[in-house]
């Protein structure tokens, strides 16, 4: 591990110097000092920053629209979305979830009330090792084939409610909203300790069709 740290840190440095987001893993914690120093140095290279005009405009819109919304609904939406990312009650929820020794809770299997089996694909449509996105009414899922077995996980990120996409080159499910990604079995790929994706119920018929337990 020690011999690779300089490579890992250089990858983080290179990303920062290209203006990319910080994509860190749990193991990076041992170098937190070096990483936070790298972030400050990368910022110093750019000098003091002002908001991009488009971003400032979006913030203005946010500030001005808020009073017109129903407060309870809006607040609930914020808690479900960005409020969660900010950390409800000062980031305590996410902070606690990432403490060593506290594992995230795996998502419950999606079991819709009055669910029904929906035909979504043929076995031959699936490529071994590649995810395929399907919709079973109101349930979105990614299917994965391994031999004659098919598994499915929710297509909604467990962190923010964004639709995941299949990153073919990295063979994982990636979130478009934040740097979160998941293995085909739904577990997070790195040490962010996010909850696993919700499993989706799936079955293969004798005719080689794949059905997902979804909704009308």
Partner 1 sequence: MTSEEPASEPGQVLQLPTSARATDIALDELELVYAFIYARVGNRADAQDLTQQVALKAIPRLREGAPASAIRGYLFATARSVLGAFWSTRLGLSESELREDLAMPIALGPPSEEGTETVQQILAQLSDNYRRVLELRFLHGYSLKEVASEMKSTVGAIKVMQLRALRAAAKVRPE
Where on the chain is the footprint of partner 1 (CB under 8 A)? 5-7, 9-10, 13, 16-17, 19-22, 24, 26, 28-29, 31-52, 55-56, 58-60, 62-64, 66-67, 78, 82-83, 85-87, 89-92, 94-96, 98-100, 178, 191-193
Q: Minimal distance in Å, beta carbon 135 to partner 1?
A: 29
The stretches of 18-156 forming alpha helices (DSSP H) are 32-46, 53-65, 71-80, 82-86, 88-97
CB-wise, 125 or 190, nearer to partner 1? Answer: 190
CB-wise, 57 or 116, nearer to partner 1? Answer: 57
CB-wise, 56 or 135, nearer to partner 1? Answer: 56
Cβ partners under 8 Å of residue 206, min gap 6: none
Q: Minimal distance in Å, beta carbon 37 to partner 1?
A: 4
**Distance between CA atoms of residues 127 and 152, nearest Å:** 14
**Distance between CA atoms of residues 106 and 110, nearest Å:** 12
Q: Minimal distance in Å, beta carbon 40 to partner 1?
A: 6
For 145, the 3-state DSSP assignment is strand
Residue 145 bridge partners (DSSP): 150
CB 203 within 8 A of CB 195: no
CB-wise, 137 or 179, nearer to partner 1? Answer: 179
């Amino acid at each position: 591990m020690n011999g690779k740290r300089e490579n890992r840190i250089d990858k983080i440095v290179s990303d920062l110097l290209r203006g990319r987001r910080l994509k860190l893993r749990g193991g990076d914690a041992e170098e937190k000092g070096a990483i936070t120093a790298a972030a400050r140095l990368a910022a110093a290279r750019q000098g003091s920053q002002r908001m991009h005009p488009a971003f400032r405009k979006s913030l203005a819109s946010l500030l001005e629209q808020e009073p017109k919304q129903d407060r309870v609904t809006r607040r609930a939406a914020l808690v479900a979305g960005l409020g969660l990312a900010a950390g409800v009650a000062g980031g305590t929820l996410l902070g606690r979830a990432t403490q060593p020794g506290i594992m995230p809770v795996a998502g419950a299997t999606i079991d819709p009330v009055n669910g029904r089996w929906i035909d979504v694909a043929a076995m031959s449509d699936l490529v071994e090792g590649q995810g395929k996105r399907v919709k079973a009414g109101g349930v979105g899922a990614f299917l994965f084939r391994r031999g004659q077995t098919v598994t499915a996980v929710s297509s909604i990120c467990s962190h923010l409610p964004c639709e995941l996409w299949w990153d073919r080159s990295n063979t994982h499910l990636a979130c478009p909203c934040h740097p979160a990604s998941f293995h085909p079995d739904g577990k997070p790929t790195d040490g962010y300790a996010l909850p696993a994706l919700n499993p989706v119920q799936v079955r293969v018929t004798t005719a080689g069709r794949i059905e997902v337990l979804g909704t009308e």
